Amino acid sequence: MKLLVALGGNAIKQAHEAGTTAEQFENCEKTAEQLAGIVSEFGPDDWLAITHGNGPQSGNLSVQMEAAKDLVPVQTLDVIGAMTQGQIGYMLQNTMQKHLKARGVDIDVIAVINQVLVDPDDPEFSGDTASKPVGNFFTADEARALKAQHPEYVVKEVKPGAEKGWRRCVPSPIPSVNVEARAIQQILTDGIIVIASGGGGIPVMQDDKGDYQGLEAVIDKDRAGEVMAQAIGADTFMMLTDVEHALLNFGKPDAAPIGEVTVAKAQQLAAEGHFLPGSMGPKMASAIKFVQEGGARAIISSLDKAVEALEGKTGTIILP
């Protein structure tokens, strides 16, 4: 199996947590334990690549910078993305090494700083269309206060009905190319676990000379994960989040879990509006695209059900 796992924010920071170093390491420990268990069952030709979100971390880092802007210059979102790639990559790398060692698995783990190409004319950069949630969750009152303090922010309800269902949203352009894919593929070929495209990758465009320039955005990590999965030749693309299944009629009394479906059925459900743009929508779109383009299967499930989902026992599984 050639597996790419995309980790949701709950793998690193829970919504109710402050986000201390200790809290994030504790979450990474649980994540690493699950992934190390999967790797321990690998054969000689199997490999694992990992990507992850960075919404809470990049949002909180932006808040810190804003609070200290009279003392230290605020950095752009692409630089913040690079900073959080290093932060989260280190925590996952460190805990993965620990749990692999505990299982007697002698495999190296490396985190890389990774750029992803986007279109500077993407509609996400216009008006209030920004759709990528970052930072902490807010109540409706807190969201209104944030908007009053920062009129330039786009603040949206991303979890309807939840007490804290509001977050700041930033541009999330569609990714097209993983810039360092060839290097990542070579590292995997050498038998090393790679953590890459963190936070969706550092968003860059190409200028007139063909050089890469950073952009103020945060790419959706599932969409960027799909781009990386195709580029490195993964056959299984698994997105781990805070729910065991994608749901029909999300947020309604008749909500129901989605199990194994074909691409055609998944497309039908997406067209019917079952998946919200700021949450499950990008995951389903990424799953559909991966299988359409030749992937064997895409899986959406929760971190604690990762092994069962890989075995086909639970989760939402999209097949050709």
Q: Which two tokens stand for residue 90?
A: 């280190």
156 is catalytic: no
pLDDT for the residue numbered 238:
98
12: left (phi over 0), alpha (psi -120 to 50) or beta: alpha
Marked catalytic residue, from 8, 10, 198, 200: 10
Marked catalytic residue, from 221, 225, 305, 315: 221
Q: Which residues contact 226 (CB under 8 A, 6 or more apart)?
A: 237, 286, 287, 289, 290
9 is catalytic: yes
pLDDT for the residue numbered 79:
97
Marked catalytic residue, from 2, 13, 132, 289: 132
> Tell me, what DSSP letter sits at residue 25?
H
Q: What share of the chain is helix, strand, coil (3-state, %, to 5)?
A: 40, 25, 35
283 is catalytic: yes
The torsion angle over the Cα atoms of residues 52, 53, 58 and 59, rounded to 10 degrees, is: -160
Strand order across the beta sheet in which 297-302 lies? 109-111, 193-195, 47-52, 2-7, 236-241, 297-302, 316-319, 260-262
CB 109 within 8 A of CB 192: yes
User: Mind listing the pLDDT tens digit of every residue in the chain (320 residues)?
Assistant: 999 999 987 789 887 888 899 999 999 999 999 999 999 999 999 999 999 999 888 888 988 998 899 999 999 999 999 999 999 999 999 999 999 999 999 999 999 999 999 999 999 998 889 988 877 789 999 999 999 988 989 999 988 888 999 998 889 999 999 999 999 999 999 999 999 999 999 999 999 999 999 998 999 999 999 999 999 999 999 999 989 999 998 878 899 999 999 999 999 999 999 998 768 999 999 999 999 999 999 999 999 999 999 999 999 999 99
221 is catalytic: yes
Q: Which two tokens stand for residue 58?
A: 């990049």
Distance CA 137, CA 273 (A): 24
pLDDT for the residue numbered 250:
85
The number of beta carbons lying within 10 Å of the beta carbon of residue 171 is 22
> Tell me, what DSSP letter sits at residue 124?
G
Q: What is the DSSP string of 7-20?
A: E-GGGT--TTS---
Distance of CA 169 to the CA centre of its chain: 15
Marked catalytic residue, from 2, 13, 283, 305: 283
pLDDT for the residue numbered 231:
98
Q: Of 130, 141, 158, 124, whose CA–CA distance to 242 is shortest?
A: 158
Marked catalytic residue, from 2, 8, 9, 59: 9
> Tell me, what DSSP letter sits at residue 146?
H
Distance CA 128, CA 152 (A): 10
Q: Which two tokens stand for residue 308?
A: 């069962």
**Domains of the chain, start order:** 2-118+179-319 (3.40.1160.10)
> Which residue type, as a one-letter code, is found at position 268?
Q
CB 234 within 8 A of CB 185: no
